Structure 1
């Protein structure tokens, strides 16, 4: 579990299925990430739990420290097809513009560098996702290459560990 001034990040589990389905059902969110049926969400959560167990990292539920309200997900996701760890963030539109994505992603990336010894972290972002591009830029990520993720063209941004 990670804590910031305003947020708590804890590993996502199958118990978060309803929150994950609701988050991804919002049309503003699923412009960039897929919507999930309950069954697909449970399958994805099982993958996330397995990644935590096998790799020691994965995606987290992000909750407000003050209230415990689930406001999104963020964390480090390993993509075997790229052999890379990505920092990913998805938040409810109601909390956009408050700096939560930057705060949660900064904590995740810092933790990845200090606890996992990662040499770099990526962020795969579609060209039309201006808000995520701004988060990546605030964190110091720079464009590294173009690639495909689930058939969608993405720019792979990267941040190297500081020596």
Structure 2
């Protein structure tokens, strides 16, 4: 499987099982997991399951979880991707190492994944939810042009829901061809 994405400053590549130490370290950092996993410390087995599900999604759908590295060097900046629940639109998810907060990396990585899903894979709809107190993530989704669709209290936490449709993105961006740019490249 090869679904690498590049931005001005980042190189995103699919998260693999051999990345468990990097991913687990990021996902269990107290400042990252605070909103990512509802402040729950996930187990190593949970992290492995997340990576396994991502690998299956890459094979089936062309998307999953990408690790984001600085283009110059091998420094892990964060991750971004789309999670898939059966029968649901993919959900955009992202996180950045605290040392890189406030530098636009979340917007850059999540934006690359969103563009890839909508333009290249022709996914009809991508959703996202964010904890309302996480104003930084709210700004990321708004910068990406995602439309706020609702608000709810889930397990005592206020969430804001967003979505972006392929049809809306194509209408507002004449640079996007209404047909998929290419099928995802996959190595077997």
- Which of 18, 23, 31 lines up with 2:21 in the alignment? 18
Q: What are structure 2's unaligned runs of at least 5 residues?
A: 172-188
- Aligned pair count reads 162
2:123 counterpart SS class: coil
- Which of 150, 154, 168 lines up with 1:145 in the alignment? 150
| 1:18–1:38 contact (8 Å) kept in structure 2 | no
- Which of 76, 81, 87 lines up with 1:75 in the alignment? 81
CA, structure 1 residues 152+84, in 2 after alignment: closer, same or farther (shift >3 Å)? farther
1:62 aligns with 2:72: no
Q: What are structure 1's unaligned runs of at least 5 residues?
A: none
Match of 1:93 in 2: 98
1:37 Cα offset (Å): 2.0
CA, structure 1 residues 41+125, in 2 after alignment: closer, same or farther (shift >3 Å)? same
Between the two structures, name the one with larger relative contact order (CA 8 Å, sep ≥ 6): 2
For residues 51 and 39 of structure 1, the distance between their equivalents in structure 2, rounded to whole angstroms, comes to 18
* Bigger-Rg structure (1/2): 2
For residues 120 and 44 of structure 1, the distance between their equivalents in structure 2, rounded to whole angstroms, comes to 22
Detail structure 1 runs of 4+ shifted over 3 Å in the superposition. 146-153
Over aligned residue pairs, what C-alpha RMSD do you find? 1.9
1:79 counterpart SS class: coil
1:30 counterpart SS class: helix
1:49 aligns with 2:55: yes
1:80 Cα offset (Å): 2.4
